[in-house]
Structure 1
């Protein structure tokens, strides 16, 4: 009788299938029992310059939002100042020309004269014309109005009272309080130029204050090295906003550092007002 083996031989395909199944089981068991490690994701580290740029962008965004909400009322073009020029989008040099024209004792008598002094284009004049309002007596006057000069001294700028400031023509209770509050906030004036940082004081009014007050004991100032300062450092100067500070910082990087004051003055965003403040707080060292 023919004997049969009790073991049944497996084909090559069956053996491969069994091996594959065992390998798959081992892989599943390995991953199920393998200890899971939590992956720690480190937040990106921002350097000082990157943080400064983010801060500048945030402040510029807020400034634009505030600017879009500002309501401009018609005003006498003779009294165009830095604030109105900024809101109307005028170049600082146009404001400087009006300031120089006004300080020489002249008044704007017509829109044509305003355009001639500021050298603005026809398209810009057409855009801002609704905001320029000439008083009737100036429209009908053929001669520029002369400004009466006051020369008698009142006292020291750092010790003057609100009543002292009110003696200046053009300064009332509101502006006198602004000057006193600003003086207290900065710890006393270091230079007459700091008056340019006070909102509402134009060049003509500041000129009157300078002619009637002295500054015998100015406060000391730690100068900021413009060639080493960050944009945030520059923005701490009273009256200098983030936009001007950023322009200074970008220009410095572009030219590799400022060598003289004329290079700073050539920046389009810096007018007479900004430059007067910069001279008080910055150093070229």
Structure 2
């Protein structure tokens, strides 16, 4: 193909040139229209959309607050740590089980060192949680042992005779004389006695919250039940659930179990029948029986 033949390809008639010019004009117009005109959808804001936006803002704020939240630990007595409480503190299951087994023996830890010896927690965990330990006041105010001069004359070294007092006649002043009992615990003992109508056994001291085994033994040395008090006994076979619930040893679930047992088995005749009721142990039943009319 010669140059002359190629040149002939670009020879257009007047009509063809007008058509090509028109085509270019249309293409340029469309491109300009597409460039300058905004084809995006208008942003229509509805009331429902605004409502969801406000809710989303609250959700995001709550998430941030929860992420920044650090639970506050309040002072507590480590002797009464539950499974859930121990888990929240970072204790392992075996460590919690050791503490619960120790408490089931009616024993108490009285210091951070004793707590670690019983539970076998690590030093790092003990350092983290021990500042929140709160032991009874009488533990924190123990007096240091003072050695006294020994006299050769046995008359001076003679032990003072212990005067035993009837626990049902003991005053607050009498109770406070016992090492480990302060004003609060002495009032707690007296209020418990008043709610029962009187004590029938010194073993009931185990039911007073806050008394350690050592203090209970000390109480048993100085106090006895010398005579049974004049009790207003409960008619166990006719009392309603509400009436039974007023007795300190009968909480609502146990009162309900008593009424259920009566309806299914007839009258309760003695302490042995009490032990057949769910929630009553033999030792507790023997004490409770003294407050009942069968």
TM-score (norm. length: structure 1) = 0.43
Q: Which structure: larger Rg?
A: 2
Tell me: higher relative CO, structure 1 or 2? Use CA pairs within 8 A at least 6 residues apart.
Answer: 1
